[in-house]
Structure 1
Amino acid sequence: MCGGHEHVGQPRLFQHAVASIHLPGSVDPHDLSTDRQFAMNLARGVQVLRAFSAQSALLGNRELSDITGLPKATVSRLTYTLSLLGLLEREAVSQKFRLTAGVLSLGHPLLASMPVRQLARPLMVELAQRSGCTVNLGMRDRSNVVYIDSIRPHDDNAHMPDIGATYPMVASAIGRALIFATPRQERMALLNFLRVQDGETFAKYASALEEDRKRWEKHGYCHGPGYWRKEVHAIAVPIAQRSGEPALAMNCTLYAHRNAAEYLPKKVVPLLKDAVRHLEAAQGLL
């Protein structure tokens, strides 16, 4: 499936074989069952932790088994171990599991070691105030975008994403900005991975992906006029990074704004591009 075959109707997206390109987070643990260096039990434990989400914050062993595809007996051992390690705890009433603060503390060293967040924050605050949009900074996590910072223009803003929130790459403007900002060979591998990972979602947003490819090449930004959630409109621009550093992008989102489809491209895109240029300059990239 990852051999680089062209996707019907999308001749520009898949052009070369990319089997040799390694994408972090794209590995399926079951494909490495014969790799003696691969710690399968650790991988299964991570699968259990990743099964939790904002929509599924409480999960029992049976539910975890259904989500991960792991045998219930294996899940029971993993939840027992993860609880003893302080990464899961059992809720008293339902007796289901939830993540603990121990998981949150694992992510803090990453956030604290990213100076781009500190450089971006004042620019994001100014952009939010000038545009009236929620402004977010994101990077790739497997087939998703994960927000590493978020600024709201005011507290009563209806669209309130948070640090750690994830969104499908192909379905979101910021995800598509990350896709088109990656080096060409890696981009081909990423697109093939996304197509194999969730073919239904990829097919659903293939036309949006192609539209944004043309928009990116001509105008340098991506636009999500309510494709994924009809009440949320967004524009996004990638942020230049040094070779070997993870790709980053910034977006501006408006919630249930009747003129968003026109307001964002005409009024906010120049402000967003200006903020990104200032951030790149602050990193010594211009």
Structure 2
Amino acid sequence: MGAKKPSRAPKPKEDRHFVTALARGLEVLACFRTGEVTLSNQELAQRCSLPKSTVSRLTMTLTKLGYLIHVPESGRYRLGTACLALGSALLTRLDVRKIARPMMQDLANMSGAAVSLGVRDKMSMIYVENCRSSAALTLTLDVGSRMPLATSAIGRAWLAAVNDEERNAVMQEIREKDPEAWPKIQNGINASMKDYARYGVTCSFGDWHADVNGIARAFDPGNGLPMMAVNVGGPSYNLSPEFLLDEVRPRLIEVVNAIEDAMPH
């Protein structure tokens, strides 16, 4: 007889304090991605893994509250101004953006790359600040863009910096979402952990996109804010691994340390 498996933590839906209807409504809002203007109930249902009838009730409620706007001509939905108010309120209160931006811009100019500040949202890192160099050869990602935790340098930096319990929980979720890709993903994460210990940064050289290279470093902003990370990235033909590690890496570490030190405690 095999050993008894350890009991798993209760899922959110098993928690009596967890409001499922609210969670589903927020999941609908989270379906909208950067660059997408409208989504249909069918598309929302597929992304949320919910019945279309349930999604229809949610979109109607969210529309009445101003979080969605119904487009009569197409029958589709777009994010409403209530979402803009929430996002704007959060961004204006993120003092770390004001502190980080001048240093990030200097780093962008020095490297000829895009420099981004990100925070984790589920299985992604979402950019809350972004600076570009004057060079034409930079990425066009902007505030609100999402990067995958497992394959991007900024996501790997977050994984390398958080505690073992939080990291293991996220890695378990990544594995459950894509079991077939997990061995390759796990190898990339394990390698990034070694990079973080050796270089002080995580790397993604063609792992997120074949023609994109990047390095990143995480930090704790304090004041109850979640772990954040700064990424330097761009086209691989403009940013070689050697240049990023030899020239950019020391400056990135200096910038991140300076941001962390400048945060009010």
TM-score normalized with structure 1 length? 0.82
TM-fit CA distance, 1:146: 0.7
Residues 8-27 of structure 1: matches in 2 within 5 Å?
none
What residue identity is the alignment partner of 1:274? Answer: E
Matched, 1:60 2:40: yes
TM-fit CA distance, 1:209: 1.1
CA distance in 2, matches of 1:155, 1:84: 45
Of 148, 153, 158, the match for 1:178? 158
Gaps of 5+ in 1: 6-16, 21-26
Residue 213 of structure 2 contacts residue 235 of structure 2 at CA under 8 Å; is this kept in 1? yes
Per mean C-alpha deviation after superposition, the further-off stretch among 93-102 and 226-235 is 93-102
Residue 233 of structure 1 contacts residue 253 of structure 1 at CA under 8 Å; is this kept in 2? yes
TM-fit CA distance, 1:147: 0.7
CA distance in 1, matches of 2:104, 2:193: 25
CA distance in 2, matches of 1:269, 1:280: 17
Match of 2:129 in 1: 149
What residue identity is the alignment partner of 2:124? Answer: N
CA RMSD of aligned residues (A): 2.5
CA distance in 1, matches of 2:176, 2:215: 26
Matched, 1:87 2:67: yes
Relative to structure 1, is the Cα distance of residues 89 and 155 closer, same or farther in structure 2, using a 3 angstrom cutoff?
A: farther
Of 58, 65, 68, the match for 1:78? 58
CA distance in 2, matches of 1:88, 1:203: 39
TM-fit CA distance, 1:188: 2.5
Match of 2:100 in 1: 120
TM-fit CA distance, 1:93: 3.3
Of 27, 46, 62, the match for 1:47? 27
Residues 1-286 of structure 1: matches in 2 within 5 Å?
32=13, 35-54=15-34, 56-154=36-134, 156-242=136-222, 245-258=225-238, 260-283=240-263
Q: Deviations over 1:130-172 (max 9, x none)?
A: 1111100011111111111000112744411111111110111
Which SS does the other structure have where 2:133 is aligned? coil
Which SS does the other structure have where 2:256 is aligned? helix
CA distance in 2, matches of 1:63, 1:240: 36
Residue 254 of structure 1 contacts residue 260 of structure 1 at CA under 8 Å; is this kept in 2? no
Relative to structure 1, is the Cα distance of residues 96 and 284 closer, same or farther in structure 2, using a 3 angstrom cutoff?
A: closer
How many residues are aligned here? 261
Per mean C-alpha deviation after superposition, the further-off stretch among 101-110 and 268-277 is 101-110
TM-score normalized with structure 2 length? 0.88
Residue 18 of structure 1 contacts residue 188 of structure 1 at CA under 8 Å; is this kept in 2? no
Which SS does the other structure have where 1:199 is aligned? coil
Match of 1:14 in 2: none
Residue 114 of structure 2 contacts residue 138 of structure 2 at CA under 8 Å; is this kept in 1? no
TM-fit CA distance, 1:57: 3.4
CA distance in 2, matches of 1:234, 1:217: 17
Which SS does the other structure have where 1:154 is aligned? coil
Which SS does the other structure have where 2:230 is aligned? strand
Asked which structure has the greater RCO (Cα within 8 Å, sep 6+), the reply is: 1
Which SS does the other structure have where 2:17 is aligned? coil
Q: Deviations over 1:196-247 (max 9, x none)?
A: 3443454332221111111111121111111111121100011234385410
TM-fit CA distance, 1:55: 5.5
TM-fit CA distance, 1:94: 2.0
What residue identity is the alignment partner of 2:62? Answer: L
CA distance in 1, matches of 2:84, 2:181: 29
Gaps of 5+ in 2: none
Residue 147 of structure 1 contacts residue 165 of structure 1 at CA under 8 Å; is this kept in 2? yes
